[in-house]
Structure formats: C-alpha cells, structure tokens
Structure 1
C-alpha cells in the first residue's frame, strides 16, 4: 500500500498472541501442538525457519511449506500432494486465519504458527516469533543450541535490528514499491547508506553484535541472500550488487555456509515468487535465468576475524527429511 507521496507503507498489525512457557496468552508451549507455516521465498518466514533449525526445534514444532506464489487471497500448499498441507488438511493458509477470525481483514502472511487441534492461527508476528522461539521454547532446544538473544547484548541487538529493518529489510520494499521518484530515491539512499554503515561495522568483526551469531545476523542475512537474485534488479536497488560489496558479500557467504542458513534457501522459489507475483513491477511474469550462484560456496576468509559461530554450542544437524533444499554443490 502506498501513501499520497508514493511511499510504501507496510501493514505491521499482526495477530500478536504469544506462545509462552507459562501460557499467559492461552497458548502454552507444547511439543507437537503447533505448526510453523512458511514459504521458502519469503524473507520474513526465512527468519523463523533458520531459528527453528539453529535451535533444533524440528521434533517439537513441525513445519508446513507453502509454494512460492500466491494470489490475492492467500498463500497455498501447492507443493504438497493434492495441494493440501498434510497436517492441517487445508489448501490455503487463509483457512487457518478464518478459523481464528471469520472476518479477518488483513493480509494472509507467513510465517504463521497454527494451533493444530483447532486449526487456528495463533500468531503471524514475525518479529516476536523468533525471539519467543529462543526464549520461551528453551526447554525444548537441542543440546548445544546457540543463544541467539543473549541477555547482556539484547539492547544492542534490538538497536541494530531496528536500523536493519527500517533501512534494509523493509528498505528494499520501500524502493521496489515506491510510487514516486522522490519516494524511491529516499528509500534507495537510506538503503545504501545503511549498507555502507553495515560494511564498516563488519569490516573488523565477524558478526553484527558480539562474537557469535545472534538474532541480528539472522534478520540481516535473509535480505542480503536475496539481494542479487531479486532486489538489485526487480526492486531497482542497483547501486551495486552484493557481490560488488566485498565485506557484505564475504559476511553473507560466511553465514550461507554455516549450517542452518544456506540449507534453508531455495533460489528458484525466491525468484519465482518475486517475479511472478509482483505483476505491477514485472507484468510479463518472466523469471530471470541468473544470477550465477557458483560463488556462494567459495572461501570467504571471515574466520580470520575470530568469532565463534555457535558460541559454546554446536552446529545443527542436517535438515530433516522433507525439508531439504536444492544443493548448490557441484
């Protein structure tokens, strides 16, 4: 949606119920009770799939995967046999929102967590969702799970994440969906100013906050990994490609090659979503053949900066059956 000045305005009113250890919103953490619904294409949903992998919650929080495209009504489960989610039994995520509120007036968004017994969406508040997976689901984390939101660093993580959201995560959308030259240039300038700031910050430290991977890195990664495939061309964020920003390209490759990050990325689905769904920007629906993906697995050299990806923890195991993505390895 755009305002009078042609600025893209994201509707940030979400179902804000929380699934907590004490169940104070009526939704207690329970293994097997809830289903996380994502789409591989979506950067906001990608955050949840990464955090779930890093924390090892696969056995207690199942995951449904929508296809890469959707219509005006809803994301759909067209990747599943018969076009239905095998656990929820629905064709459209919209059905779970309407179970919660038959008059639900807002967009049907991923990620969403659905209460399996009732079929109702509990929350689609993607910002709070990943924090709660770290804090409220702690009793079910795998042995060796990293602390993605360490208490001493939370203020700094929040500050960096807010800047990244405003200018980068949402900034690419503000550029891509701008309805005026003025609004586009304002978003474009803010985006690249922030990317320059991030490059300077990361030039001498391996991760955004502290010496381990945190929530802040997860949030930045999901935009940067999509940058050359869609945002550079499709959203006109074309001062430089990610591959032309040496620090950020090495940083993103470092994370991509870290278990739990690159093994959640399906570039074909990412491209199909943006170029097919956004017909106001790409009326033909033609999907680009590029970019070349071979560089993602090349050495990045970031180990020289020190840092411990998982702190005192360990990497997650390989993706479980049914959740693998195409490998870039030759």
Structure 2
C-alpha cells in the first residue's frame, strides 16, 4: 500500500511539473561545430591522390576541412543517420566535390558490404577519421529523443529507424529490472543503477508509459531526489544524464560498433595509413586505447557490455592474436584534449579526447 502511494505521489509531482512548464519557443541553434577539427586534420595529413574515409560524417565539418587541406583527396563519407547521409549527398553534388566525395549510408559494421559495392579492397585507404558519439544535430532536434533539455519522443535511434531496431521507449516498456540495472551500471556508469531501475519499473507497473524524454528525465530526477549532480569534471549535470547515455548506447549497440570499427580500421588501412579518433567518454576511449596498444581480448575494452548485448564479439583466435600484436604506432605520447579557447567556443568539446596512430604492419 505504501509503495503504491509513493509511486502515485511521485507521478503526480512529475505531472504537475510537466503541466506547469509552458512550452518555450525553440531558440535558434548554432551550427554544428566539429571538435578538435584542425588537430584531427593535422594528424590525418591528407595527401593529393589519397583515399580517406570519414566514418562519422555528421554535418560534414571534418570532411570539408580535409578538402580544404587537400582538394585532390578522395573521401568516402559514412553515416548511419539518413539526415547526415542526405547532407553528404547534397555536398557531393557541388562542383568542387564531384567525384571526390562519395556518400555511404550505414554503420561501421556495414563497411565490408559497402566496400564490396564500391570496389574497394583491404589495405586500400590512406586515412580513417572517427568522431564517435552523437552529433550536435541529433542532440539539437527534440524529435530524435536524445536531449534531456528538449522534450520529444523517447527514440534515440541514430538512424531514425532506417534499419528498424527498438526505441528507448520500447526498451523501457519491456525490459526486466535486473537487465535495466545492468545497462545503467555498465553503459552509463551509474552508481544508482538499481534504484533508478526499480523506480522506472515501478512506474511501469503503475501503468505509466514513459514515452517522452521529459517524462524519463523528470522521473529519474524524482527517483533520485538528490538535487543537482556534478560530472567527473565537476560540471553541473542533470540527474538523468547517465541514464540517457546508457539507453542511447544500448539502443544503438555503440560499443560493439566502435570495437568492430577499430578492427576494420586495421583491415582497410594500408601500411603507413593514419588513424584519428575523437571520443567523448571513457567507455569509447578505453576501446580505442586498447586497440592501439594491442590490449584486445574477446569482448574488447568493456567485456560486460559487449558480452551482454551479444553482437560482434571477436572470437576468431587468429584475429585476436593479430590484435594483441599491435599494428599501431601512436603519433603522440599523451591523449590530446581541447584547449581552453576551444572549450569556451564550444562547450560540447569539454570531454573530447583525440588519439592518432600510424599503421606499421
């Protein structure tokens, strides 16, 4: 009885909060700003006649800079997001990019099929650029369901459902409490994972359908009732930030895709080809670092998430052995982070880390 009363009170508080907040007119958003762009291109060192792949095209900031640095280069622009793919298609029609910019629609794991379709072979690229995570465009569009600060349907699929898959709302409508707690703990590094999972499942049992980003953010905030949080850099952080991160990673199978993307980088780069990666949280960076250092085992950098989702786990002993004997030579001793000036210009760059390496075998 007390538990039902507590759930009912919590839901009424969330509903009152929702009704009391008037819908504000959407403020104009600044254009997408690629993070560590100059540094990334400096380490990529595009060459005339060279062939490159931008594995996360987004709004095309890095790709444009490659062409500014080297107009004679050729760039394959990959993105799983149909909106980003359309931007790449439009850009490829401009006279100065015709025949040099080739848009590709798909995930990292689609690369073998896409390479076959375009007649590309192994060890054929001069450089690869990864800019992991979501783009500013995805966070800025409420209807994509990524943003805590903008109310929209709780979707979170990076491809907008182009290849099917389940939404974050569908996950929350079906998942068991123990599984949800694991996702929050592993993918979100959320210390209160069990408490949040229990509260969200209790809400579902009370016949509450969590269908919008605001509903989820408000429920998590109310479940924790701990006031404003701070992240690892001591910045103010919403209580639901880690929950949103965990669900987004799970829905998009992100860590497995990153792991496989790093495997593919080793396969498709030619000797002396360059790898540049930009990551935005420790789970991503750890996978990259372990591949570059040759510290890869089945399950790669984060065994539990990869094992739990059951996709793209490396279990080929011969391939594992080749990854343990690293083929990479780092181009810098320490991880590169944005300077204070870039952080002041673009707050989303604060947690970015850049790593670059040359393929030596």
* TM class, shorter-length: under 0.3
User: Which structure is larger by alpha-carbon Rg, 1 or 2?
Assistant: 2
> What TM-score does the superposition give when structure 2 sets the normalisation length?
0.24
Q: Which has the higher contact order (CA 8 A, sep 6+)?
A: 1
> What TM-score does the superposition give when structure 1 sets the normalisation length?
0.26
